[in-house]
């Protein structure tokens, strides 16, 4: 068996990486694979998050942006893409005609369910010995950094 010396050097080098770099690298790799899976339905991790939030009920684009923690301009692009795919619709608020409200369509609801039914993301963590501790740590990081950046929205 031939061992790639460069691969072994890279693996040993990773042992010295800062925890933040490890987390960032793992997140990028999982996100890339997750987006490939979601592309089946013309979705990505950001658009799936929007559909998931809208399952709770209609919201304005501003409320959605806060809920998924993206800038308003980013939310505008996500909403336009999801609307073109038939996954959501925008309509005027019945109480304030100036406001546009976004809601998930039946197609969007069904697609969100199909895209997440396999819970594919969980298979990435089969190599983790203590998944509940990892999840608790990730939630703590997300809550702390979200509050720092976005205020108390999580």
Query: pTM for the whole thing?
Result: 0.72
Same domain, 90 and 152: no
- Residue 52 counted as domain residue: yes
Average pLDDT of span 3-32: 78
DSSP letter (8 states) at residue 121:
G
Q: Which domain holds residue 49?
A: 20-118
23 within 8 A of 72, measured Cβ to Cβ: no
CATH code, domain carrying 92: 1.10.10.10
60 within 8 A of 100, measured Cβ to Cβ: yes
Same domain, 61 and 95: yes
- Residue 14 counted as domain residue: no
Same domain, 107 and 136: no
- DSSP three-state, residue 92: strand
The total number of structural domains that make up the chain:
2
Same domain, 30 and 103: yes
**pLDDT tens digits along 100-126:** 899 999 999 999 999 888 666 567 777
Q: Which residues pair with 91 in a beta bridge?
A: 101
Same domain, 95 and 38: yes
**pLDDT tens digits along 56-106:** 999 999 999 999 989 999 999 999 999 999 999 999 988 888 888 999 999
């Amino acid at each position: 068996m031939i061992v790639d010396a460069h691969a072994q050097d890279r693996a040993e080098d990773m042992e010295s990486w800062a925890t933040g770099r490890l987390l960032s690298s793992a997140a990028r790799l999982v996100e890339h694979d997750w987006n490939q899976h979601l592309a089946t339905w013309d979705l990505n991790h950001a658009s799936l998050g929007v559909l998931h939030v809208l399952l709770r009920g209609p919201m304005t684009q501003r409320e959605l942006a806060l809920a998924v923690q993206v800038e308003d301009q980013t939310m505008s692009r996500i909403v336009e893409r999801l609307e073109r795919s038939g996954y959501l619709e925008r309509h005027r608020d019945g109480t304030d005609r100036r406001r546009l409200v976004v809601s998930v369509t039946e197609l969007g609801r069904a697609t969100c369910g199909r895209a997440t039914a396999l819970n594919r993301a969980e298979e990435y963590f089969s190599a983790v010995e203590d998944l509940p501790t990892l999840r608790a740590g990730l939630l703590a990081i997300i809550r702390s950094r979200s509050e720092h950046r976005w205020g108390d929205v999580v």
